């Protein structure tokens, strides 16, 4: 069963970092080149230099983003910019944020999570991954031996452990209280209550944990753990995670809408032909005149009854209803990928005899956004040709499907906001703890 442990976290020395908010970043997969430049300029010790360092045209096998990251990481440790906690802790992280004018607050526990293959049924995935990001994260882990950003995992909290954390830990003065550049507030506390820590260690022994965000990093860390000698480096058998109760009212899971941009008329015609073959279109007027709240409400109803998908393109907005038989386990997003997006993208990848697939310079572009208004704007401003709108899905439904082994397409969900990078780091050697509670196995056993 899932096994978590407290660990010796690596944290910024706030005696040397006067503005901790200036060193926090989002994880690598949502950082644009413009964001990367901005974060580089924000603070010379911004975690961006470790999480997602810059690449340059003159990079070589001896000098590249990964070697520079390892050098910077070691230098910051030597200079005392980063410090290793003397004792092993779990860490409470409270994240306060706004979405559509509503304030949310989400509580998580930073822990070291034992790496297990998915086949064990102990740690559950819910969506597919891609090779590219895993190769990048593996090189980073291999060069540094560190997790700079936590993955997000969910667990059912029948024992109300998170409520106990609020009552016993979060009432104290936090060791960090900072706002990131998006205006989100982060507060951090080491869990110094031994009895509570023992309960936290035991909480996942009899239930699976769902990966909400960080599939690529988890699979990378698992692969890395299989390449090293865990008897010599047991800490490599764990990954930094933030555990969040599935019942947390601040757990905001948004749908990931698909934006498709074609590069020529032939590609657009091809897509239109596939849509007409596989779906029935129900019109709801012009994109610029949509009432988003009413559109969302109708989409939720049609998605539940008929597996409908919202569809926005130039001059048209409405819903796509699948024409062929639908299995009881099918999701609208799965249907969209299997019947439309995957045939198109696979033809491109395999260079099939479809002239519409385009050359290597004219590939169909697929991007994602959790924001319906942003999707509509992208079509109106011709930044995308088509927007496929996905109805939101309850977290409980994701948990249920994962337990049954039903995996969704990549980027199926968007847990908002992403967990920050830079609050607590984990190193396979430096963070190895020695906390043994008599009923669990510590790193040194």
Q: Is residue 298 over pLDDT 70?
A: yes
Q: Is residue 444 over pLDDT 50?
A: no
Residue 30: C-alpha distances to residues 33, 94, 97, 382 (Å):
10, 21, 17, 22
Please count the other Cβ atoms lying within 10 Å of the Cβ belonging to residue 361: 6
Separation of alpha carbons 154 and 123, rounded Å: 10
Q: Is residue 355 over pLDDT 50?
A: no
Q: Is residue 74 over pLDDT 60?
A: yes
Burial class (CB in 10 A: 0-12, 13-18, 19+), 81: middle
Q: Is residue 389 over pLDDT 50?
A: yes
301-311: string of b/e by CB count within 10 Å (b at 16+)? ebbeebbbbbb
Q: Please name the residue that has the structure tokens 């596989």.
A: 278
Residue 338: C-alpha distances to residues 10, 271, 326, 341, 435 (Å):
43, 14, 12, 7, 48
Name every residue whose Cβ is closer than 8 Å to that of residue 10 and which is 6 or more positions away in sequence.
77, 82, 83, 84, 85, 146, 424, 425, 426, 427, 430, 431
pLDDT in tens, 408-433: 888 888 899 999 999 999 999 999 87
pLDDT in tens, 306-350: 999 999 999 999 999 999 888 777 889 999 999 988 887 765 554
Phi-psi group of 121: left, alpha or beta (phi > 0 → left; psi -120 to 50 → alpha; rest → beta): left
Give the H or E element holding residue 396.
helix 395-403
Please count the other Cβ atoms lying within 10 Å of the Cβ belonging to residue 167: 11
Separation of alpha carbons 172 and 85, rounded Å: 18
Beta bridge partners of 239: 113
Please count the other Cβ atoms lying within 10 Å of the Cβ belonging to residue 231: 6
Q: How big is the CA angle at 9 (ends 129 and 152), to the nearest 5 degrees? A: 30
pLDDT at residue 205 in the model: 80
Phi and psi, residue 174, nearest 5°: -70, 155
Q: Which domains does the chain have, with CATH numbers?
A: 4-252+415-427 (3.90.1530.10), 257-389 (3.30.1760)
Separation of alpha carbons 243 and 112, rounded Å: 10
**DSSP for 210-241?**
EEEE-HHHHHHHHHHHTTS-TTT-GGGGEEEE
The encoded tokens of residue 261 equal: 């941009």
pLDDT in tens, 44-65: 999 999 999 999 999 999 999 9
pLDDT in tens, 83-126: 999 999 999 999 999 998 999 999 999 999 999 999 988 899 98
Measured N-to-C along each axis, helices 215-225 and 131-144 cross at an angle, to the nearest 10 degrees, of 50
Sign of the four-CA dihedral 81, 82, 85, 89: positive
Q: What is the mean pLDDT of the chain?
A: 90
Separation of alpha carbons 127 and 406, rounded Å: 9
Q: Is residue 362 over pLDDT 70?
A: no
Nearest to 341 by CA among 431, 257, 425: 257
Share of the chain above pLDDT 90, in %: 73
Specify the pTM: 0.88
Separation of alpha carbons 35 and 91, rounded Å: 28
Secondary structure tally for the chain: helices H, strands E: 13, 21
């Amino acid at each position: 069963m899932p096994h978590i442990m407290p660990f010796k976290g690596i944290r910024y020395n706030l005696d040397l970092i006067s503005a901790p908010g200036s060193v926090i970043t989002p994880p690598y997969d949502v950082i644009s080149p413009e964001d990367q430049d901005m974060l580089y300029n924000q603070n010379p010790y911004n975690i961006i230099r470790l999480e997602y360092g810059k690449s340059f045209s003159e990079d070589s096998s001896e000098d590249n983003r990964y070697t520079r990251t390892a050098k910077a990481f070691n230098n910051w440790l030597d200079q005392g910019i980063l410090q290793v906690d003397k004792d092993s802790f779990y860490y409470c992280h409270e994240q306060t944020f706004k979405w559509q004018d509503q304030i949310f607050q989400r509580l998580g526990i930073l822990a070291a999570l034992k790496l297990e293959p998915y086949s064990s049924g102990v740690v559950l995935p819910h969506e597919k991954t891609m090779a590219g990001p895993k190769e990048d994260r593996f090189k980073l882990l291999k060069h540094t031996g560190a997790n700079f950003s936590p993955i997000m995992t969910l667990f059912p909290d029948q024992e109300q452990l998170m409520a106990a954390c609020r009552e016993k830990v979060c009432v104290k003065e936090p060791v960090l209280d900072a706002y990131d550049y998006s205006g989100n507030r982060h507060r951090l506390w080491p869990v110094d209550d031994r009895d509570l820590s023992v309960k936290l260690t035991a909480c996942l022994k009899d239930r699976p944990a769902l990966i909400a965000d960080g599939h690529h990093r988890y699979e990378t860390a698992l692969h890395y753990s299989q390449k090293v000698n865990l008897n010599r480096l047991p800490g490599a058998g764990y990954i930094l995670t933030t555990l969040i109760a599935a019942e947390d009212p601040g757990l905001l899971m948004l749908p990931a809408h698909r934006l498709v941009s074609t590069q020529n008329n032939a590609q657009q015609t091809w897509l239109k032909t596939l849509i007409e073959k596989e779906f029935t279109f129900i019109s709801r007027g012009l994109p610029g005149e949509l009432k988003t709240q009413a559109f969302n409400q109708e989409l939720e109803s049609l998605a539940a009854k008929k597996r409908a998908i919202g569809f926005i393109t130039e001059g048209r907005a409405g819903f796509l209803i699948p024409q062929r038989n639908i299995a009881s386990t099918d999701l609208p997003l799965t249907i969209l990928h299997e019947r439309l997006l995957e045939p198109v993208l696979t033809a491109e990848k395999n260079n099939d005899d479809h002239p519409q697939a385009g050359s290597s310079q004219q590939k169909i572009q697929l991007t994602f956004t959790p924001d319906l208004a942003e999707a509509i704007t992208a079509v109106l401003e011709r930044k995308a040709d088509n927007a496929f709108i996905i109805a939101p899905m309850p977290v409980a439904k994701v948990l249920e499907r994962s337990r049954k082994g039903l995996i969704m397409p990549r980027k199926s969900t968007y847990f908002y906001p992403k967990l920050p990078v830079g609050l607590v780091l984990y190193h396979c050697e430096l963070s190895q703890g020695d906390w043994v509670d008599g009923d669990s196995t510590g790193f040194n056993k």
